[in-house]
């Protein structure tokens, strides 16, 4: 036996779940994704989303409405007469008519331990806050923002140097397995639903460009969490003068280190930087338009003298 499923997702994070449902033998009657966006080297070409590309390779029908305001889009969704919709990082809020548009409802794979980190950027926010663990939750969607009852939870430890990119890759595979398991239980009418607790809700706001600059005038642990939480994208950064020109340097990796000094001061020739309290070692850096380099290689081309102040 199998379910007829409408799959809804957009980025690379969603692709393993789509493939896991196909591999499990479910019938994917339609794939919904965000419309093609400008991209390419010059930003002039329309590029299909990773889910769109994966669905085409799998021979699945793809729909990419801008939203569901058009009654025709809502009607088409209902006419698939699917058992269930599976939603992973789709990128659109679903109206009630869509939430009610399948026999068994819509189930979302969300990358946090709800109710902590509801919203757009749960992976980055968990690391930036210094959380020691997070996870994937399968949740039955309701009209609220990540407020529905939870069906299945899989916890994941967050290592001390783990970046958001590394955690993203770990969670997308954990989430794929979790959703496949949840659909088996749903098909057997054995999927429990537990309301989220009223306490502990935290909103994971989308990362804003204004918060990406590194502030060394904070405790080292906060600086370290900020760097790894924004790595590899959009990337935390500082500015320094290179050949008489102020340039932005992204920091894509760091670790806590011993040392003390004025906040932002380079303490050693291994890029140990003083913070408000403690210090961090910068271990991977990237100049604009260049590839990421480990600190030793970066310093060969861009020496940074001990005593320099980074800001």
Q: Over the chain, what is the mean pLDDT?
A: 96
Same-domain pairing of 179 and 227: no
Residue 261 lies in a domain: yes
Q: How many domains does the chain have?
A: 2
Residue 234: CATH number of its domain: 3.10.25.10
**Of 154, 174, 203, which closes a domain?**
203
Of the residues 152, 179, 203, the one at which a domain ends: 203
Which structural domain, as residue segments, surrounds residue 17?
Answer: 4-203
Q: pLDDT grade, residue 41 (50/70/90)?
A: low
- The answer to whether 14 is a known ligand-binding residue is no
Quick check: is 45 in a domain?
yes
The answer to whether 145 is annotated as binding is no
User: Within a domain: residue 147?
Assistant: yes
Within this chain, do residues 179 and 194 fall inside the same structural domain, yes or no?
Answer: yes
Q: Which of 268, 299, 274 has its CA nearest to residue 284?
A: 299
Output the pTM of the full model: 0.95
pLDDT band for 42, please (50, 70, 90 cuts). Answer: low
- What pLDDT digit, counting tens, does each position of 185-234 carry? 999 999 999 999 989 999 999 999 999 999 999 999 999 999 999 999 99
Query: What is the full DSSP assignment across the chain?
Result: ---EEEEEE-SGGGHHHHHHHHHTT-EEEEEE-PPPEEESTTS-EEE--HHHHHHHHTT--EE--S-S-SHHHHHHHHHT--SEEEEES--SPPPHHHHTSSSS-EEEEESSSTTTTEES-HHHHHHHTT-SEEEEEEEE--SSSS-SPEEEEEEEE--TT--HHHHHHHHHHHHHHHHHHHHHHHHTT----BPPPSS---EEPPPPGGG-B--SSSBHHHHHHHHHHTTTTT-EEEEEEETTEEEEEEEEEEEEE----STTBB-STT-EEE-SBSEEEEEEEEETTS--EEHHHHHHHS---TTPBP-
Final residue belonging to a domain, choices 203, 229, 249? 203
Residue 128 reports pLDDT greater than 80: yes
> What is the rounded CA–CA span in Å between residue 166 and residue 253?
11
């Amino acid at each position: 036996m199998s379910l007829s499923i409408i799959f809804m997702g957009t980025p690379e994070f969603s692709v393993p779940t789509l493939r896991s449902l196909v591999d499990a033998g479910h019938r994917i009657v339609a794939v919904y994704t965000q419309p093609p966006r400008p991209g390419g080297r010059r930003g002039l070409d329309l590029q299909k989303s990773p889910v769109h590309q994966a669905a085409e390779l799998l021979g699945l029908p793809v729909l990419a409405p801008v939203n569901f305001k058009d009654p025709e889009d809502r009607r088409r969704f209902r006419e698939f007469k699917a058992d269930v919709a599976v939603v992973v990082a789709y990128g659109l809020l679903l109206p009630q008519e869509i939430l009610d548009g399948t026999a068994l409802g819509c189930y979302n794979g969300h990358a946090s331990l709800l109710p902590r980190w509801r919203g757009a950027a749960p992976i980055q926010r968990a690391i930036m806050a210094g959380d020691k663990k997070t996870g994937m939750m399968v949740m039955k969607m309701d009209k609220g923002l990540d407020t529905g009852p939870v069906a299945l939870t899989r916890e994941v430890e967050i290592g001390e140097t783990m970046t958001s990119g590394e955690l993203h890759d770990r969670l997308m595979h954990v989430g794929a397995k979790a959703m496949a398991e949840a659909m088996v239980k749903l098909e057997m009418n054995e999927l429990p639903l537990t309301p989220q607790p009223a306490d502990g809700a935290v909103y994971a706001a989308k990362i804003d460009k204004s918060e990406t600059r590194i502030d060394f005038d904070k405790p080292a642990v906060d600086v370290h969490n900020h760097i790894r939480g924004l790595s590899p994208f959009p990337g935390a950064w500082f500015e320094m003068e290179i050949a008489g020109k102020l340039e932005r340097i992204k920091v894509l990796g760091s670790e806590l280190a011993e040392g003390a000094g004025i906040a932002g001061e380079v303490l050693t020739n291994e890029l140990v930087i003083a913070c408000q309290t403690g210090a961090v070692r910068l271990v991977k850096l990237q100049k604009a338009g260049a590839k990421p380099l480990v600190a030793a290689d970066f310093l060969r081309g861009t020496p940074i003298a001990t005593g320099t102040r980074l800001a």
